[in-house]
Amino acid sequence: MEINVIKIGGNVIDHPEKAKAFLQAFAEFPGHKVLIHGGGVLASRIGQSMGIVPNMVDGRRITDKETLDIVTMVYAGLINKNLVAQLHSFGQPAIGLTGADGNLIRSTKRPVGKIDYGYVGDVAAVNTGLLEALLAQKISPAICAITHDGKGQLLNTNADTIASAVAKSLAQKSHQVNLYFCFDRAGVLMDEKKEDSLVPLINEDIYNELKKEKVIHSGMIPKLENAFNALNAGVYNVWLGLPENLILASKGINAGTTIRSQRYDLY
C-alpha cells in the first residue's frame, strides 16, 4: 500500500491553534497515514513546574529517571491522548501508541560513551505488522517518541529518528512510503530570515554543498541526515515544510523542500 508517515514538530504541537490546524490537515490528508510526534517544549515546561531543569547536550535531552517519567507522561499521556481525541473529532480514527504498545518499537539503551544520555534508546526493530493491521482498518497510528527495550524498561527516542525508522521499516515491506516532516519552517532556506528563500528540491550533492557553506547547520543537519538515510533505505519521497502546506504537498504542489535520493535526477 501507499503509506504517508507524517511527523509533527514540538513547536507546532505546543500552540493549540497550530496543532488544531495541523490535525485538521492530517485528517483530510488522503490515503493511509501514520502520525509521529514528540513534545520536548511542553515536557521541559512541565518538568520545570515540578522543579526539574532540562539538561540538553547538543540539542539532545539527557534522560535521567525523573526526566524519563516526565517525557513518558507528557508525550504518551498529555500530548498523545489529546491529539487522538481531536483526530476523532475531525473524523479520523486513530490509536495512540508508544514503542511498548504491541511491541511496536523495540530499542536498545544507548551505550555510555563520551556522554551518558541516560534512558535513551536507539531503534532496534519496528513491528510493521501492527501498523499494517491498523492502516488496513483505516485507523491512523499516532506514535510518540517513547520506545521500550523488551525487558520492561521504557526509553526516550528522538521523534525524527522514529519517523525515519518507521518509514524505512514499512518501505522494506514493499510499501510505497512518503515521509513528511512538518515543523515551524517553510523548508530548507538559503537565508533563515527569509521564508521566500526556500530550496524546493535538494539531493545529497546540494546538501553537502550547502552544509559546507553553513547554509544548513545545527538542528537541520540531523533532520536531513535522517531524510537521506530514509531515502537510501527505500523510502520513496521525503518532504520538509510548514503544516499548513501539507495538503498542497499531498497534491504534488511543492510548497516546501522535497528531498531526493542521489539515485534520481533532480529535475
252 sits near a copy of itself (criterion: CB under 8 A): no
Compose the 154-193 pattern: x for residues touching a copy of itself by CB under 8 A, - for all others. x---------------------------------------
Asked if 85 is part of the footprint of a copy of itself (rule: CB under 8 A), the reply reads yes
Least distance CB 78 / a copy of itself (angstroms): 5
Per-residue contact string for residues 20-49; x = within reach of a copy of itself by CB under 8 A: --------------------------x--x
Residue closer to a copy of itself (CB basis): 146 or 177: 146
Q: Does 54 bind a copy of itself (CB under 8 A)?
A: no
Q: What would the grid cell of residue 45 be?
A: 515546561
Residue 143, strand partner residues = 36, 97
Binds a copy of itself (CB under 8 A): choice among 53, 65, 114, 152: 152
Number of shown-chain residues binding a copy of itself (CB under 8 A): 38
Pick out residues in 101-130 that bind a copy of itself (CB under 8 A).
Answer: 101-103
Smallest gap, in angstroms, from Cβ of residue 17 to a copy of itself?
13
The answer to whether 7 touches 33, Cβ cutoff 8 Å, is no
For the CB of residue 30, give the shortest distance to a copy of itself in the complex, in Å.
21
* The three cell numbers locating residue 155: 526509553
Q: Which is nearer to a copy of itself, 137 or 174 (CB)?
A: 137
Is residue 94 part of the contact set for a copy of itself (CB under 8 A)? yes
Q: Does 81 bind a copy of itself (CB under 8 A)?
A: yes
Residue among 69, 122, 132, 244 that touches a copy of itself (CB under 8 A): 69
Angle at 81 between CA 9 and CA 244, to 5 degrees: 35
> Is there binding between residue 98 and a copy of itself (CB under 8 A)?
yes
Cell of 24: 485538521
> What are the residues binding a copy of itself (CB under 8 A)?
46, 49-51, 69, 72-78, 80-82, 84-86, 88-89, 93-98, 100-103, 139, 146, 148, 150-154
